[in-house]
Amino acid sequence: MTVKEMTGVSRRGFIASSLALGAAGLALRGHPALAQVSTEGGRLRARLYADISNLDPAFWTSGSDALVMECIFAFAMQFETGTSEFNALPLALKALNVIDDTHIGFELNEGILYSGEYGEMTAEDAKFSWERIADPAVQSPYAADWAQLDHVEVTGRYSGTIVLKSPFAPLFTTTLPATSGIILPKAAIEAAGGQFSTEPPVTSGPYRIREWQPRTRLVLEKNPDFTLFDVVFDELVLIPIEDPKTAELGFEAGDLDHAQTSISSIPRFAAAAPNGGRFDEFTALNYYWLGMNEANADLTDQKVRRAIQHGIARDAVVEAAYLGAASPAAGIIAPGLAGHRAENTYNYDPDLARSLLAEAGVPNLNVTLSIQQTAEDLAAAQIIQALLADIGVTVQIDQYESGSFWSLGIEADGDQWKSLQLFLFSFTMQPDPSWATAWFTSEQVGVWNWQRFSNEEFDRLNQEASTELDTEKRGAMYIRMQELMEESGDFVFLTFEPIGTLTAAGVMPAMRPDGWPILSRFTKA
């Protein structure tokens, strides 16, 4: 096996990295980020899987960004915690009124204060923020969240009407309750030059940033001006730890109060949580797959990509990576959502794979598989390497720290996308199928569509499905879209990642049904 280590920082400054202690079997005790930090005095220590990279709702790049944004901004709506079903409740919004399919009235709570000199949140701020993300000139990767927005009409200081071009099914499930629903003041964004990254010009949430030591820790302190709900912990200390195994060691050593575990450790912690703490397991929406860059010279022939699809036994890959804690997937839309797909079209068939490579004139092929520095990725990559060797494909595994990995397929970050070939990818999800497919449209090529998959039927269905309010019809559209993805040869769907979390004794977590923590709502047990 050849494993090449890569390090570096993307142009965006996404500098997440693990604390690099797992291989030595060391706990986190003694790390400066954790010294003298505990729940005593109202401090909560939690793991981020990566450092922050961009906290602008129009340009954020990782789940860690979104988790922090939920602490420092007052979301328009927020998902209820401690339930088995997703239920979004108004937060900054006081009320919503569905006038008809394309007109939704809203009213903001009065007295929501921005930091600095930016005053009170108003309907004009909502208009600016939502139209900003939808504006093609802004080039937000999340414009699809407001794809059907025509405009926002302000009817009062705290009230307005969202006017849509067509009905928009995800509005109440993944737009208003998520980052694209965040309301910021126009003056603050303009003062920042139109956008910002890791230094927000304004905050409005339950916490505000006190200190950020890149790659080490982010300290948030309670915002005394926040009144939408009671905040228990005075301080959040968020530690970027890329490898979940390292985070587990830190929790067992008493250096963390909350952490997501590795999937392979779920059976062990389900049997007994360390230190009298609690373990929770969730059925997550996140999807994990092998992608292929069809624009790469070695992969332009669909027969080659199809051979790789047939050369991979998905069950073996998932078993190796997650040790029985996950099951193979047939798509990117999780069970329970409209459009969940039960069966694959192209399955493991090594003889057919070898035949396809011969037809393509490449009986022996050398490719690179790019992964992040996690135990799960490496285990999956090694099985893929062995399986593809059996059909005549030699795989070199390149491991990257997160900062470098997340820029590999992004054109704006350089020309490295041209040499990208195979990669293992995991995307976080919101509870609407549109959030699964939005990243694979033609418009997303060179942004998050690293496969460079482009299909007119897919693009059309993606647009139509967002406006279809009939669940059965909408589900059929999303199933067809996943069929088109697999038919392209660009994708090998692997699994939906279950979520395991550890929480210290004395702490009561506040979790969404998919295992996403709402840290600002954690309390003392």
Tens digit of pLDDT at every position of the chain (525 positions): 344 433 332 222 222 222 232 332 333 444 444 443 444 559 999 999 999 999 999 999 999 999 999 999 999 999 999 998 899 999 999 999 999 999 999 999 999 999 999 999 999 999 999 999 999 999 999 999 999 999 999 999 999 999 999 999 999 999 999 999 999 999 999 999 999 999 999 999 999 999 999 999 999 999 999 999 999 999 999 999 999 999 999 999 999 999 999 999 999 999 999 999 999 999 889 999 999 999 999 999 999 999 999 999 999 999 999 888 899 999 999 988 899 999 999 999 999 999 999 999 998 899 999 999 988 999 999 999 999 999 999 999 999 988 789 899 999 999 999 999 999 999 988 899 999 999 999 999 999 999 999 999 999 999 999 999 899 999 999 999 999 999 999 999 999 999 999 999 999 999 999 999 999 999 999
| DSSP sequence for 169-207 | GGGGTTTTTSGGG----HHHHHHTTS--SSS-S---SSE
Q: What is the pLDDT of residue 13?
A: 29
Q: Kind of pairing, strands 499-503 and 278-282?
A: antiparallel
Interatomic CA distance for residues 252 and 81, integer angstroms: 25
Shared domain for 482 and 511, answered yes or no, is no
CATH for 379: 3.10.105.10
Look at the chain and report how many structural domains it folds into: 3
Which amino acid is it at 26?
Answer: L
Strand partners, 492: 290
CATH for 236: 3.40.190.10
* Short-list 145, 208, 156, 226, CA closest to 182: 145
Which amino acid is it at 393?
Answer: V
Q: Kind of pairing, strands 93-100 and 287-292?
A: unpaired
Shared domain for 429 and 327, answered yes or no, is yes
- Scanning 468-516, the segments in alpha helix (DSSP H) are 471-487
Shared domain for 180 and 120, answered yes or no, is yes
Q: Which of 191, 224, 242 is a domain's end point? A: 191
Shared domain for 252 and 377, answered yes or no, is no
**Any domain includes 197:** no
E strand or H helix that includes residue 118: none
Shared domain for 483 and 376, answered yes or no, is yes
**Any domain includes 354:** yes
* Short-list 117, 140, 130, 119, CA closest to 77: 130
Shared domain for 38 and 91, answered yes or no, is no
Retrieve residue 148's tokens.
């059907």
Q: What is the pLDDT of residue 4?
A: 41
Buried b (16+ CB within 10 A) or exposed e, 334-358: beebbbbbeebebebbbebbbbbbe
Shared domain for 393 and 449, answered yes or no, is yes
Shared domain for 229 and 242, answered yes or no, is yes
In the three-class reduction of DSSP (H, G, I as helix; E, B as strand; rest coil), residue 121 is classed as coil
**Any domain includes 163:** yes
Q: Report phi then psi at 184, rounded to 5.
A: -125, 155
Shared domain for 489 and 400, answered yes or no, is yes
Q: Report phi then psi at 419, rounded to 5.
A: -95, -5
Which residue is it, tokens 């230190």?
Answer: 275
Interatomic CA distance for residues 11 and 228, integer angstroms: 37
Q: Which of 191, 225, 241 is a domain's end point? A: 191
Question: CB neighbours (10 Å) of residue 141?
Answer: 18
**Any domain includes 200:** no
Sequence-distant (≥ 6) Cβ neighbours of residue 515 within 8 angstroms = 260, 280, 281, 282, 284, 499, 500, 501
CATH for 156: 3.90.76.10
Q: What is the pLDDT of residue 9?
A: 29
Interatomic CA distance for residues 325 and 395, integer angstroms: 26
**Any domain includes 323:** yes
Q: Which of 191, 223, 257 is a domain's end point? A: 191
Interatomic CA distance for residues 443 and 294, integer angstroms: 16
Global confidence as pTM: 0.79
Angle between helices 314-322 and 375-389 (to 10 degrees): 150
Q: What is the pLDDT of residue 403?
A: 79
Which residue segment(s) compose the domain that 352 sits in?
287-496
Shared domain for 351 and 423, answered yes or no, is yes
**Any domain includes 297:** yes
Shared domain for 232 and 360, answered yes or no, is no
C-alpha dihedral over 402, 408, 414, 418, to 10 degrees? 160
Q: What is the pLDDT of residue 1?
A: 39
**Which parts of 74-148 are beta strand (E)?**
77-79, 88-90, 93-100, 103-108
**Any domain includes 199:** no
| DSSP sequence for 345-412 | SS---HHHHHHHHHHTT-SSEEEEEEEES-HHHHHHHHHHHHHHHTTTEEEEEEEE-HHHHTTTT-GG
| DSSP sequence for 7-46 | ----TT-------S-GGGT--STT-TTTTT-STTTTEEEE
Angstrom CA distances, 62 to 37, 48, 101, 239, 496, stand at 26, 10, 32, 15, 18
Q: What is the pLDDT of residue 19?
A: 28
Shared domain for 415 and 443, answered yes or no, is yes
**Any domain includes 275:** yes
